[in-house]
Structure 1
């Protein structure tokens, strides 16, 4: 999970992330980049962050409104030292996806962050269904037609990441950041190797090309590869049927049709 943590420095005095984010980063669940409010819109546009977390002493809509007015779609969570129902309602109405106190438990904070990212990607439950592919986030298992795909821990994480970000192209750097979350990262070639291994395992289960490779850019989940077989047959049948020809009324030479329904004799 790639998080841009935007701090106004007043919450701790030195711009440090709150306790929950700090613990998540130490445990390797979050790859976090710290930033001040200046230039944050360009930062969010330039890099692939899963979510932005704004740390404040009290919920303030100014920065939030600036980001939303700039049409940056990145999900945003507000973490504030002092909150009340009216302040929470205000930031939610302006465009925040959640607002929690700085004392939030790390376990709850991570669950909230993951839920926001999941919903932003178009998934409303812990089980992701993409045609023949099912990704159970809670059990950390991927299935094809109900049968488990024998993936390693890192291979599963790649499948989950690309399933959550279906339709998006992820660079190797973004995949590395999400998998290793700021820990000592291996060379980018390791992603190519894992993608190759996943392809082999899924091909053995009838998925010809699970990923689309955009050379020099990154990878994207190939949703078309997971279309159920029955649906493909129906598509082929419907495309093979001849289309009905438009019927026409024969018009005798010397007579032309006019809008009023009458005939005009030439």
Structure 2
């Protein structure tokens, strides 16, 4: 999961992830990029992030309002040290997807982050369904027609990420950031190798083209490839059936810290 964490650079230790985020990053579950509030909209337009975390001493909705007014669709969670129910309600009404205390336990925070990312991608449970394929996030297992697909841990991560972001093209850089979560990253060619191996394994199940390659950009999940064969044949037959005619007349078919942007966004 690739996360942009926005801290308050005016306070001591402001550009550090909270305890829960730091613990999740150590486990390799998150790739965290730290940033101050300056230039955040431009950063989100330029790079792909799964979720934004705004961590503050108290709820301040100016930055959140700026992100939403700029029509940035990335989900946002606020982590605050102290808040009132009215302040939380205000943040949620403006466009925050969640607002939690900085004392939240790492396991709960990580679960909330994952749940928000899943819902944003159109998935409402720990099982991601795409035609014949089911990705069990809790078990880290992919099944095709109820049969487990033998994947390495990194290959599973690629399939899960492309399934979660099924309507987006993910660059190799974004895939690397998510897979290696701040660790020393290998050359981008490793993504091509993993995609090739996954394709080969899925061909054994009759899925010939699970991913669409956007040359020079990245990869996207090909949902059409996972449509059950029977449904595909029915759709083909329906499209091939001639229109009914009632008469003989013719019928017509109808943990890196990024530097502030030099040109600051105006809040």
TM-score under structure 1 length normalisation:
0.90
Bigger Rg over Cα = 1
Does the 8 Å contact 1:170/1:218 carry over to 2?
Answer: yes
Name the CA shift for 1:248/1:61 in 2 (closer, same or farther; >3 Å): farther
Name the CA shift for 1:239/1:94 in 2 (closer, same or farther; >3 Å): same
Partners of 2:13 and 2:168 lie apart in 1 by 37
Which secondary structure does the structure 2 equivalent of 1:54 belong to? strand
Match of residue 165 from structure 2: 165
Deviations 1:207-247 (A, max 9, x none): 01110111111000000000011111111111111113586
Does the 8 Å contact 1:11/1:56 carry over to 2?
Answer: no
Partners of 2:221 and 2:42 lie apart in 1 by 27
CA RMSD of aligned residues (A): 1.5
Partners of 1:148 and 1:13 lie apart in 2 by 45
Does the 8 Å contact 1:2/1:49 carry over to 2?
Answer: yes
- 1:56-205 equivalences in 2 (<5 Å): 56-205=56-205
Match of residue 253 from structure 1: none
Displacement, 1:9? 3.2
Name the CA shift for 1:91/1:14 in 2 (closer, same or farther; >3 Å): closer
Gaps spanning 5+ residues in structure 2: where?
Answer: 250-267
Which secondary structure does the structure 1 equivalent of 2:90 belong to? helix
Matched pairs, number? 249
Displacement, 1:15? 2.0
Which secondary structure does the structure 2 equivalent of 1:92 belong to? helix
Which secondary structure does the structure 1 equivalent of 2:186 belong to? coil
Displacement, 1:155? 0.5
Match of residue 46 from structure 1: 46
TM-score under structure 2 length normalisation:
0.90
Partners of 1:26 and 1:227 lie apart in 2 by 38
Match of residue 18 from structure 2: 18
Of 8-17 and 86-95, deviating more is: 8-17
Name the CA shift for 1:246/1:90 in 2 (closer, same or farther; >3 Å): farther
Deviations 1:68-93 (A, max 9, x none): 01000000000001112111111000
Match of residue 265 from structure 2: none
Displacement, 1:14? 3.7
Deviations 1:122-151 (A, max 9, x none): 000000110001100011000111110011
Does the 8 Å contact 1:11/1:55 carry over to 2?
Answer: no
Gaps spanning 5+ residues in structure 1: where?
Answer: 250-266
Partners of 2:10 and 2:107 lie apart in 1 by 24
- State the structure with bigger RCO (CA 8 A, min sep 6), 1 or 2: 2
Match of residue 218 from structure 2: 218
